[in-house]
A = this chain, B = another copy of it.
Amino acid sequence: MSKVNIKPLADRVLIEPMAAETKTASGIYIPETAKEKPQQGKVVAVGPGTKDDKITVKVGDTVLYGKYTGTELKLEGKDYLIMRESDIFAII
């Protein structure tokens, strides 16, 4: 997992997407079609949360999230996604 120097605001989470063919220890993988983006990634930075939205995920967690979720960033040549924690479905 990468180290990045970024502080997400509020309930936002920075995620390093995993390639669609990646398979976790528990064997979960995501259906892939030519049209779908990967939906699985590693958490690399989390915001402080808000009064209403406490942050549950931790740096290092592997998470599942919806297609077309979040905004793409590039950092030192790698692609990241930044999204609200409420866009994350589950920790695997």
Decide if A90 touches B7 in the complex (CB within 8 Å).
yes
Closest 4 CB pairs of A and B: A5-B26, A27-B76, A8-B90, A7-B91
Give the interface of A toward B (CB within 8 A). 4-10, 12, 14, 25-31, 45, 47, 56-57, 64, 66-67, 71-76, 79, 82, 85-86, 88-92
User: Nearest B residue to A7 by beta-carbon distance?
Assistant: B91
Q: How many copies of this chain?
A: 7
Known: A66-B71, A73-B64, A82-B64. A90 touches B31 (CB 8 A): no
Contact of A75 among B7, B9, B27, B88 (CB under 8 A): B27
Residues of B within 8 A of A71 (CB): 66-67, 89
Chain B residue nearest to A74 (CB atoms) is B31
A25 to B14, CA, bound (A): 19
A9 to B9, CA, bound (A): 20
